[in-house]
Amino acid sequence: MGNRFLTIALLSLITSSAVQAALIARGTDMVYDDVNNITWASDANLFQTQAASNPNLVSEIITANGGVIHDTPSFYDNGTHTLTTGDFITSDGRMTWWGAQAWANHLSLGGYTDWTLPSTADATNPNNQGYNITTSQMGDLFYNQLGGVADTSITTTHNANYNLFSNVQDSVYWSSSEYAPLPGSAWLFRTYNGYQYYFYKGFQFYAWAVRPGDVAAVPLPGAVWLFLSGLGLVSFKRKLKKI
């Protein structure tokens, strides 16, 4: 009976620990979202941070991508955009959609190279435009994970999870998703008011890197380890009594 009670208590403790978690710091460079099973770069303007310490970053990105980014043919290109230094603004971190795609393709962080721009679900639907849309990764981050409020900047209204990140821009961030009816455009998210919409890929906005899955094995919470230690000690004492 005693062991059964201890087992039930242990399972309850592990379950409650898992439910309470949402965003978890993975070192200083990454933040894991265990609800959506994705990992964000903790630096929300990582391109600028990298460019400040590497004057050759833009040329390295262009070379690594073979000088081009392929997309859906549109009025603006035939499906191949030739990258130039004009796709990147190293002084503040903004990039065209093509530049942002190239940067994410080139990014290596935490030993991982599968970083992308955030995606927007149902990218063909014009009704995805507006406030309080959480089906995109940026929308979910803004409203559900960081506690953002419609028509209010995330830099002024947020919850404690906001402190896991640095360099969050009070501006506009690119999505990886094109707007299918007008493939010369891609989806965006305004962190200064929580509004999602689509716009021409040639404008220069910010990029926030994300990747699928976790970046580290998740250890049991300290409280669970203490519980397990106590459980082992109880079992050991019972064995001594039987000797």
Instruction: Dump pLDDT digits (tens) for 169-187.
Output: 999 999 999 999 999 999 9
Nearest to 168 by CA among 144, 198, 187, 146: 146
* Token reading at 24: 């978890």
Instruction: Dump pLDDT digits (tens) for 50-82.
Output: 999 999 999 999 999 999 999 999 999 999 999
Predicted pLDDT of residue 125 = 86
Predicted pLDDT of residue 2 = 52
Predicted pLDDT of residue 67 = 98
Predicted pLDDT of residue 217 = 54
Predicted pLDDT of residue 226 = 45
Mean pLDDT by 10 residues, the chain (243 residues): 47 43 92 98 98 98 98 95 98 98 98 97 87 97 98 98 98 97 96 98 98 76 47 47 50
Predicted pLDDT of residue 12 = 45
Predicted pLDDT of residue 95 = 99
Distance CA 124, CA 181 (A): 6
Predicted pLDDT of residue 93 = 98
Mean pLDDT of all residues in the chain?
Answer: 87
The answer to whether the Cα torsion of 37, 42, 44, 50 is positive or negative is negative
